[in-house]
Amino acid sequence: MFIHKNKRVLVGVTGGIAAYKSPELVRRLKDRGCDVRVVMSEGAKAFITPLTLQAVSGNKVHEELLDEEAELGMGHIELARWAEQIVIAPATANFIAKLAAGRADDLLSTLVLATSAEIAVAPAMNQQMWQHPSTAENLSLLQDRGVRVIGPGSGDQACGEVGPGRMTDPTEIATLLAGEALARPLVGKRVLITAGPTWEAMDPVRGITNHSSGKMGFALAEAALDCGAEVTLVSGPVHLETPAGATRIDVRSAQNMLEAVLENVNSADYFVAVAAVADYRPINVAEQKIKKTDESDEMTIRLVKNPDILATVGAMPNRPYCIGFAAETENQIAHARAKLTRKNVDIIAANNVAGDEGAFGSDQNAVTLIHHNGEIEIPTNDKYAVAISMWRHILKLANSA
């Protein structure tokens, strides 16, 4: 359930430099008519005073586990029952670890254990801490328990390093919690997206394909729709519902996909090639099911190269702004940068597809956007959140091109 007027929202503030952004979050929640109370951890008070948060929330800030002023002397239970939504922003690596372990050694961690409210965390930390496997495991555990993870963003950090770990902008956190569409910067724009695998038939029942589920492409379509775009989604064989409002064209092979793209690309402002297109297809497609023979234990299938859809669009004279993906099991960045040039596109989103944790089929992804002047990391998150982040960066890059 989204936040709305009169919703009782508890903002938890933990001890990181991003705590200076918490008053702004409180204000954005109050703008939406929410009743906001704030709980600060001990560490948070090193970065911001309770008085500031009291002034913006209009309520006393809660700090102590044992509160003599609380009706039953048990502030954590009262607050846990009061809250309909809890959002912890910033959520430090330490606090995330505490939540994952179920520890209850201060007011905030205790009330989170005692509540039935929806919980969201907006992580903020040094980029190395964000990328540490412990943090990733803790967050994945929290997500499995239904905790919503918002962000973080990527960029310059207070510690002087650059990378993922910046707390998501407070306006964006409030917007996401309110279920409102983010600003609609794609209104009036047409977006053409390929998604899913292709199926390259050998005979009527067998073919060559891959593990793409279509989730990343569909998430980009949904995010583009939420940003106001008109979306055409050319999809290989997947079991996903069409995002509401998208025009979907179902295809099977790379050649079908190319035809559908060529029919729609002239009116597109953005072309996003997310599909995992088979690079080769069988030269001959048997009309009947190929039979096993006793003559040999081996069988040879001759393959021929498929057309490269992204490179074809990249070579067009008045082409749309082009974004490709690179699914790599090694040297992601170097391979992705080579594709950027070879396919003559504007951005390549490099993602790791190695091992069980790879992007194929998963609900989560992390990508590095490789463009002609640098790289932008979008850290692990659910594919819709990654897609929203991608569109934000794509638009910035396209508008500055």
- Give me the least distance between CB of 287 and ligand PMT, in Å please: 25
Q: Residue 170 or residue 320: which is nearer to ligand PMT going by CB?
A: 320
Stretch near ligand PMT under the rule CB under 6 A, chosen from 100-108, 153-161, 174-182, 324-332: 324-332
User: Least separation, in Å, of the C-beta of 23 and ligand PMT?
Assistant: 38
Quick one: which segment of 13-21, 140-148, 152-160, 352-360 binds ligand PMT (CB under 6 A)? Answer: 352-360
Rule CB under 6 A: choose which of 91, 359, 385, 390 binds ligand PMT.
359
Binding residue (CB under 6 A) for ligand PMT from 110, 127, 253, 351 = 351
Out of 2, 361, 372, 401, the residue judged to bind ligand PMT by CB under 6 A: 361
Site residues (CB under 6 A) for ligand PMT, limited to 278-307 = 279, 306
- Residues that contact ligand PMT, how many (by CB under 6 A): 28
Per-residue CA distances from 353 to 106, 244, 246, 366, 385 (Å): 40, 28, 27, 10, 19
325 interacts with ligand PMT by CB under 6 A: yes
Tokens matching residue 152:
């973080």
| Among 12, 90, 207, 214, interactor with ligand PMT by CB under 6 A | 214
Q: Which of 273, 322, 369, 390 binds ligand PMT (CB under 6 A)?
A: 273
Single out the residue of 176, 101, 103, 168 nearest to residue 141, CA to CA: 101
Instruction: Give CA–CA dist 282/252, Å, rounded.
Output: 14
- Number of alpha carbons in the 13 Å side-chain half-sphere of residue 285: 12
Instruction: Tell me which residues in 235-254 interact with ligand PMT (CB under 6 A).
Output: 254
Work out which of 48, 83, 274, 394 binds ligand PMT, going by CB under 6 A.
274
Judge contact between 285 and 202, C-beta under 8 A: yes
CA angle, 386 as apex, 91 and 334 as ends, to 5°?
110
Supply the minimum distance, in Å, between the C-beta of residue 365 and ligand PMT: 6
State which residue, 31 or 263, has the beta carbon closest to ligand PMT: 263
Angstrom distance (rounded) from CA 212 to CA 237: 9
Which residue number, 44 or 378, has a Cβ lying nearer to ligand PMT?
378
Segment near ligand PMT (CB under 6 A), from 50-58, 107-115, 134-142, 325-333?
A: 325-333
360 is an interface residue for ligand PMT by CB under 6 A: yes
Beta 364-371 vs 374-382: how paired, if at all? antiparallel
326 binds ligand PMT (CB under 6 A): yes
Binding of ligand PMT by 212 (CB under 6 A): yes
89 versus 249: smaller Cβ distance to ligand PMT: 249
Query: Annotated catalytic residue: which of 34, 159, 227, 322?
Result: 159
Contact between 327 and ligand PMT per CB under 6 A: yes
**Least separation, in Å, of the C-beta of 397 and ligand PMT?**
17
Residue whose entry in the numeric block shows the structure tokens 């009291």: 54
34 flagged as catalytic:
no
Residue 222 interacting with ligand PMT (CB under 6 A): no
Residue 145 beta carbon to ligand PMT: minimum distance, rounded to whole angstroms:
23
Among 21, 32, 190, 215, binds ligand PMT (CB under 6 A): 215
Does 339 bind ligand PMT (CB under 6 A)? Our answer is yes
With respect to ligand PMT, which residue has the nearer C-beta, 19 or 309? Answer: 309
Binding site for ligand PMT (CB under 6 A): 194, 196, 212-216, 254, 273-277, 279, 306, 308-310, 324-327, 339, 351, 353, 359-361
| Active centre residues (catalytic) | 159
